[in-house]
Amino acid sequence: MLIFVSDIHLTDALHGGAVARADTFERFWTRVQAARGARPAKLCFVGDLFDLVRSPSWLETALRPYHDPSDALAAQVDAIVERILAREAAFFAAIRARVEEGALEVEYLLGNHDRLLAFAPRARRRVWKALTGVDVDVEFEREASFPQHGVLAYHGHHSDPINISPQHQATIGDAIGIELITRFPRMVKRLLPEDTPHAELLDDIDDVRPIYAVPAWVRQLGVIDRGLLRPTGETWRALVEDFLSKPFVKQWMRSRRAAEQKRLGFDTGQKLKLLLELSTKRVVARGSDQRLTKLYSMLQHGFDGKMAQHGIEALRARRGLRFVVNGHSHFASMLPLGNLDGRPAVYFNTGTWRTVHQIGNLAGGRPSFLPFDAMSYLVFFPSGDPLGRDFEWWTGAMVAAQGSTQRDPSQAHPAGQPSAHKGRSQLPDPQT
């Protein structure tokens, strides 16, 4: 049995979901245990198990996750990983227990939010020991093929214009993550009294997907609570101005212009700059951000479908494979690609195991956002499966009741002990 999950995004400081990751894993494992038979299951993390970009600790140093690799950068990554492992100890203990008893094998592929592990060998060693109990030096690959099941797996960020990184170097997505998304709530809170209503909403910026929707989300805060209008607007304008002035950002804008060579219309860098500049304009509480919504739709339209197209091209270059698996977008999907060598080929996105604030803008006017805890996974079965299954793809979501709070993973229950979630329901089985 071969299982894929992605985009769990464990962090050292940002808030968690409504359900602890250890609890999510236990629900997941109950289904795996019932189906795996006598052989161990293999679990492949398809990138972004860790989020090393959005750690507030970067802001306490002169280092940034988009800087070139160095010993100092590796040491910073190692420190972030150490804190994450302590914070999510119950989650890793649950996985490690299954590995040590021979019921589970794990494989780790790098994504864009954990790509810095490639330059931090001590951190990789820590991660592998936390997952398996084995204390050895390891390398993490960026893609893997599983010929027995006809599967090719990789994270999928190379189909994303703001995370394209052919040489695995830093991207503008790294800069957005730390300079805008991580800095924003902290800067706004400095301007607010401690008892400000709705101040906790500021931390939700980390959950907004896709990243193009962040400017629209920032603007809606002032509509939800007029008391947030001025501090959020002033802070966002200052951050955007500072962001666009950074040498790294300017260089990326130039590189996209050269790479895309647009004769008509805007290249990705110009679209991003325009989106950010529009987001700094005055919020009209009863107006409709039509220009912002239209530009968001343009950016997202360019992203939709690229992953599946990249997938069929990758399969054609590797004979004998007919399934392509990636994550990155946080939105689970399954898309038939047509026939390859006379057999059906399929693209899968493995979604996420975290909270998502998904934009809704089809109704026109100002975009709105729906928050939910997501859980998705993909299972391929060995030949001779008693039920005749080739694969199963499961995805589900939980919307918490208004007023329920998000968990601090460090307060999760010890491994193997159930925890009580007062005032909120448990994550449903994915098929529901």
Helix (H, G, I), strand (E, B) or coil at 397: strand
First to last CA, the chain: 22
Residue corresponding to tokens 């989300």: 217
Q: Is the pLDDT of residue 19 over 90?
A: no
- Residues 175 and 165: their CA atoms lie apart, in Å, by 13
CATH 3.60.21.10 matches 2-162+304-356+371-411: yes
Contacts for 208 with CB less than 8 Å, ≥ 6 apart:
214, 217, 357, 359, 369
Contacts for 384 with CB less than 8 Å, ≥ 6 apart:
none
- Residues 319 and 155: their CA atoms lie apart, in Å, by 20
- Residues 209 and 190: their CA atoms lie apart, in Å, by 25
Q: Is the pLDDT of residue 409 over 70?
A: no
Query: Which element (helix H / strand E) includes 229?
Result: helix 229-245
264, HSE (Cβ side, Cα atoms, 13 Å): 0
Bridge partners for 186 per DSSP: none
- Residues 56 and 50: their CA atoms lie apart, in Å, by 14
* pLDDT number for residue 16: 77
325, HSE (Cβ side, Cα atoms, 13 Å): 33
Q: What digits encode the pLDDT tens for the residues 112-163? A: 999 999 999 999 999 999 999 999 999 999 999 999 999 999 999 988 888 9
- Residues 348 and 292: their CA atoms lie apart, in Å, by 30
Residue corresponding to tokens 């040498």: 247
Q: Is the pLDDT of residue 414 over 50?
A: no
* pLDDT number for residue 238: 95
Q: What is the dihedral of CA 312, 313, 318, 323, to 10 degrees?
A: -20
Confirm if 126 and 85 have CB atoms less than 8 A apart.
yes
Q: What digits encode the pLDDT tens for the residues 223-252? A: 788 888 889 999 999 999 999 999 999 999
Average pLDDT, rounded, for the chain: 87
Indicate the burial class of 421 (C-beta count within 10 angstroms; 0-12, 13-18, 19 or more): middle
- Residues 23 and 197: their CA atoms lie apart, in Å, by 30
Q: Is the pLDDT of residue 102 over 80?
A: yes
* pLDDT number for residue 375: 93
**φ and ψ at residue 293, rounded to 5 degrees:** -65, -40
330, HSE (Cβ side, Cα atoms, 13 Å): 24
Domain with CATH 3.60.21.10 in the chain: 2-162+304-356+371-411
Among the listed residues 217, 224, 222, the one whose alpha carbon sits nearest the alpha carbon of residue 203: 217
Predicted structure pTM score: 0.89
- Angle between helix axes 268-279 and 290-303 (nearest 10 degrees) is 150
* pLDDT number for residue 246: 97
Query: Which element (helix H / strand E) includes 24?
Result: helix 21-35
Query: Which element (helix H / strand E) includes 377?
Result: strand 368-380
Among the listed residues 307, 243, 299, 294, the one whose alpha carbon sits nearest the alpha carbon of residue 267: 299
- Residues 143 and 283: their CA atoms lie apart, in Å, by 43
The token duo for 290 is: 């039509």
The token duo for 164 is: 């394209």
Which residue stretches of 262-411 are H helix?
Answer: 268-279, 290-303, 306-316
Bridge partners for 105 per DSSP: 42
Q: Specify the range with the lowest mean pLDDT, choosing from 142-156, 192-206, 291-305, 347-361.
A: 291-305
Q: What digits encode the pLDDT tens for the residues 26-59? A: 999 999 999 888 889 999 999 999 999 999 999 9
* pLDDT number for residue 305: 79
The token duo for 141 is: 């690959």
Q: What digits encode the pLDDT tens for the residues 325-378? A: 999 999 999 999 999 989 999 999 999 999 999 888 767 667 788 899 999 999
Residue 31 Cα distances to 95, 327, 404, 412, 430, angstroms: 14, 21, 27, 22, 10
